[in-house]
Amino acid sequence: MVPFRDGAIALAVVFLISRIWRFYQHRRRTGYIPGMRFIFSPMNIFGAALPTCSINPGLSWQWRWRKSIYREAGSETISALGYLFGMPALVTRSPEVFRQAVAMKGQFDKPPDGSEFVRQWGPNLFSETGNDWKKHRRIAAPAFGTKTYSLVFTETSRVYDEMLHAEGWTDQDIVDVPVTHNLTTKVGLIAISRCGFGSEIPWTYENFGSSKPSSVIPSENSMTLAEALMIVSVNSILRLVIPRWAYYLPIRFLKRLDYAHHYVSKFMNQLIMSRRSELANGMTSEYTDGHTDVFRLILEASENEGKYALSDEELRGNTFLMLFAGHETTASTMDATLAMLALHPDIQQDVYEQVSEVTERQQLTFDSLQDLWKVQACFLEASRMFPAAFMMVREALDDTVLTHVGPQNLPAETVVVEKGTLVVVDAIGLHYNPRIFPEPEAYKPERWYGIHDNDMTMFSTGSRACIGRRFALTEGTTFLARLLKDWKVEPMLLPNESSEQWRERVVHGVVRISFGIGDVPIRLRRRVPL
């Protein structure tokens, strides 16, 4: 036993020395900049999967420490290092570094494994880099145009009307909505199904289900699409960590997770097969009736590429990206918008007056959305406070220099970035940067009045800005305008609870596969009582 003990001690000493040397190298690589120190770095999969605490970043560190982490370091760019495991990274809330890292052609790109949580479904527009990304973008871009956005307006407005009737709101003066996300995700999924895939899903579709999963192990046809999407989205990182053999164990959670993945995969494969068949036979989808949905346009553009067409795996990857980004991120932003409007009745009244003025002149149309810039600003400000894409990771392809604002806003400093170093844009920190957004904790939609598309940094910037930006803005503005025209939004308070206490209970960030607000309970009060 003594030799074994001595060998174990020797291995422990060697490991400890290697970690110390590695940590020193990582400090040098990040320019000895102060910052965060954990057992696992934020860029390590275990660092992300384990809970946020003083020794581990988890997924909530950006939100939890947004007010202190940069102030304590005295800089808008800090280092993030793991004592034991994980790649070193420079983390920034500097808009200057953000634009340099995201927009500098040839000097930064996404790391190969930086989008595995989405790429597990197949290569897609979000995950790919270089020429592969250019191919995806070239094929997808024509599908996102004015005709598509007009269809988004029409279908979102139709979904709102269906919601009123199906939920029994047409003869109600007061409606309590305990969890807005149950409604907004349904709006988003129906809209993306119709506009994105040409599939008619009515509000009463019985296989939609609740966004809250049950604990029952599923049997055939027992899981809904909405439930499956929610399960795979929330557990995307765990799916990468858990070994495949574990799904054979009699563990209820793993059985549901595995079933959800098979359900979503089967749905996407059937969709691709049916749309390929329609295209080959010159047919239109059952629903589109003259409209051309996004998936059909992408498939047509892909087929025209010949040998450079998207493979079934690439189509599957982009299908999941559209399903998720097309409903979850927009729904989360609408939740945050409703929460903020409920807390700020003065802002809500101002927006309502603009909606009333526009709709008194004419019926609400796609063209009249441009006159509802205050509604859009409310949506954008909520997106600033709860940015769905909470982190953007880039890798230095060559040795380069980044310029950032120095300590206490002193003149600009430079940081030498070695080839292979990761630069992490902290989108939460960026949008709570008081230098750019004074009073960052305050909800001020006027920040976005007259703003240019390129300044909507919640959607990234440059050539890799979110291709679905205008899709989301059209859907969000349409739904909010219709809702605010009919209803006043108020906090749904507990007994003896004040609005400020409601804020403390409700307004906090939650990270799933994207970032958003927690469950939002609201009360809708009809503006013109029946």
User: Per residue in 28-71, pLDDT tens?
Assistant: 888 888 999 999 999 887 888 789 999 999 989 999 999 999 99
For 366, which DSSP code?
A: T
Specify the pairing of strand 35-40 against strand 391-396: unpaired
CA 372-377-379 angle, 5° bins: 100
pLDDT at 241: 78
What average pLDDT does range 205-224 have in this prediction? 50
pLDDT at 221: 52
Lowest average pLDDT, out of 130-139, 217-226, 265-274, 520-529, goes to 217-226
Which residue did the predictor score with more confidence, 323 or 54? 54
The confidence band for 407, taking pLDDT boundaries of 50, 70 and 90, is: low
The CA dihedral of 136, 126, 473, 436, to the nearest 10 degrees, is: -130
Cβ atoms within 10 Å of 446's Cβ, excluding its own: 11
pLDDT(530) > 60: no
* Helix (H/G/I), strand (E/B), else coil: 37: strand
Please answer whether residues 384 and 447 qualify as being in contact, where contact means their C-beta atoms are separated by less than 8 angstroms: yes
pLDDT(382) > 90: yes
pLDDT(208) > 50: no
Cα–Cα separations (whole angstroms), residue 385 to 93, 179, 267: 14, 19, 34
Whole-number Å distance between alpha carbons of 28 and 294:
47
* Helix (H/G/I), strand (E/B), else coil: 56: strand
Determine the angle formed by the axes of helices 252-280 and 294-303, rounding to 10 degrees: 60
pLDDT at 10: 85
pLDDT(213) > 50: no
What integer best gives the mean pLDDT of the chain?
Answer: 87
Cβ atoms within 10 Å of 174's Cβ, excluding its own: 13
Most confident of 30-34, 260-264, 454-458, 479-483: 479-483
What average pLDDT does range 272-291 have in this prediction? 70
What tokens does 349 get? 């009244």
Q: Which amino acid is at 237?
A: I
Q: Which of 510, 480, 505 is nearest to 495 (CA)?
A: 505
Please answer whether residues 526 and 486 qualify as being in contact, where contact means their C-beta atoms are separated by less than 8 angstroms: yes
The dihedral region occupied by 58, where left means phi > 0, alpha psi between -120 and 50, and beta the remainder, is: left
Which residue did the predictor score with more confidence, 316 or 5? 316
Lowest average pLDDT, out of 41-45, 105-109, 166-170, 211-215, goes to 211-215
pLDDT(200) > 60: yes
Share of the chain above pLDDT 70, in %: 91
Whole-number Å distance between alpha carbons of 144 and 130:
21
**476 Cβ contact partners less than 8 Å away, ≥ 6 residues apart:** 330, 333, 334, 337, 376, 379
Q: Which contiguous run of DSSP H or E holds residue 152?
A: helix 146-166
pLDDT(103) > 90: no
pLDDT at 163: 96
Q: Buried (b) or exposed (e) across 269-293, using 16+ Cβ within 10 A?
A: eebbebbeebeeeeeebeebeebbb
Q: Which amino acid is at 59?
A: L
Please give the order of strands across the beta sheet that includes 487-491: 174-177, 522-526, 487-491
Lowest average pLDDT, out of 107-121, 133-147, 248-262, 352-366, goes to 107-121
For 508, which DSSP code?
A: -
pLDDT tens readout for residues 498-516 = 999 999 999 999 986 689 9
pLDDT(214) > 50: no
Lowest average pLDDT, out of 2-6, 225-229, 376-380, 397-401, goes to 2-6
Please answer whether residues 211 and 519 qualify as being in contact, where contact means their C-beta atoms are separated by less than 8 angstroms: no
Lowest average pLDDT, out of 99-113, 240-254, 367-381, goes to 99-113
What tokens does 247 get? 């799904």
Domains of the chain: 2-120+393-427 (no CATH), 134-392+428-526 (1.10.630.10)
pLDDT(73) > 70: yes
Which residue did the predictor score with more confidence, 300 or 437? 437
DSSP 384-437: HHS-SS-EEEEEESS-EEEEE--GGGPSPEEEEE-TT-EEEEEHHHHHT-TTTS
Whole-number Å distance between alpha carbons of 255 and 262:
11
Share of the chain above pLDDT 90, in %: 47
pLDDT(492) > 60: yes
pLDDT(378) > 80: yes
Lowest average pLDDT, out of 245-259, 411-425, 439-453, goes to 411-425
pLDDT at 121: 83
What tokens does 110 get? 């996404």
Whole-number Å distance between alpha carbons of 126 and 118:
8
- Residue 195 assigned to a binding site: no
pLDDT at 220: 42
